[in-house]
């Protein structure tokens, strides 16, 4: 009888230990809120916010930061902010910017595949601000986004998208 109770006690202790070790195991699931453009990694990393906008030298400037029209050869700027707090715009650095490398990606013509066209480091001194100058050479409609791979402190993130329409006619 003592052996049965001892065996049952060992099984119960092992079960409790196993349950506790499973419960304490970090979860690698990542969730993304597309409205706020941030990611939270449930392993304890800080959430990150990645915002993108598009503008250029053409006048008048479009108040909508997600679309822009330019002529072939005109300057276009992809602007972004990577931070640990919600940035209000992509053109003003937040107080909690993250210094890191951000990828600028373009959507391929298949509509499913993203290609990294450039990688830029955000400005130093914790601004989290990044800017990329593009000079389109062909007409068409182009879609861009920013991605951040994350690190041991900050979770990875993917921005919203912006659309560039390039025409044969220069926009004054």
- pLDDT tens for 44-56 read 788 888 889 999 8
Q: CB-hemisphere CA count at 13 Å for 19?
A: 6
Q: Tell me, what's the pLDDT at 162?
A: 96
Architecture of domain 29-167: Sandwich (2.60)
For the chain, where are the alpha helices, taking DSSP H only?
2-24
CA distance 52 to 145: 7
Of the listed ranges 61-70, 131-140, 142-151, the one predicted with least confidence? 61-70
Percent of the chain surpassing pLDDT 70 = 65
At 152-161, the pLDDT tens digits run 888 999 999 9
Residues counted in the chain = 172
Tokens of 23: 């419960």
Q: Where are the domains of the chain?
A: 29-167
Q: Tell me, what's the pLDDT at 6?
A: 35
Would you say 63 and 74 are in contact if contact means Cβ atoms under 8 Å apart? Answer: no
Listing from the earlier edge strand, what are the strands of the sheet with 67-71? 67-71, 157-167, 140-148, 101-107, 114-121
């Amino acid at each position: 009888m003592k052996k049965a109770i001892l065996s049952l006690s060992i099984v119960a202790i092992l079960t409790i230990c196993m349950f506790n070790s499973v419960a304490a195991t970090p979860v690698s699931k990542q969730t993304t809120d597309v409205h706020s453009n941030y990611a939270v990694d449930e392993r304890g990393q800080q959430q990150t916010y990645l915002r993108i906008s598009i503008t250029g030298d053409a006048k008048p400037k479009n108040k909508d930061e997600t679309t822009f029209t330019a002529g072939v050869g005109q300057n276009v700027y992809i602007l972004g902010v990577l931070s640990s707090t919600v940035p209000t715009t992509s053109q003003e650095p937040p107080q909690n910017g993250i210094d890191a490398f951000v990828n600028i990606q373009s959507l391929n013509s298949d509509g499913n595949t993203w290609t990294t066209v450039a990688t830029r480091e955000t400005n130093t001194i914790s601004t989290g601000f990044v800017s990329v100058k593009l000079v389109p050479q062909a007409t068409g409609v182009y879609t861009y986004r920013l991605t951040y791979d994350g690190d041991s402190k900050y979770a990875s993130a993917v921005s919203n998208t912006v659309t560039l329409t390039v025409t044969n006619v220069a926009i004054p």
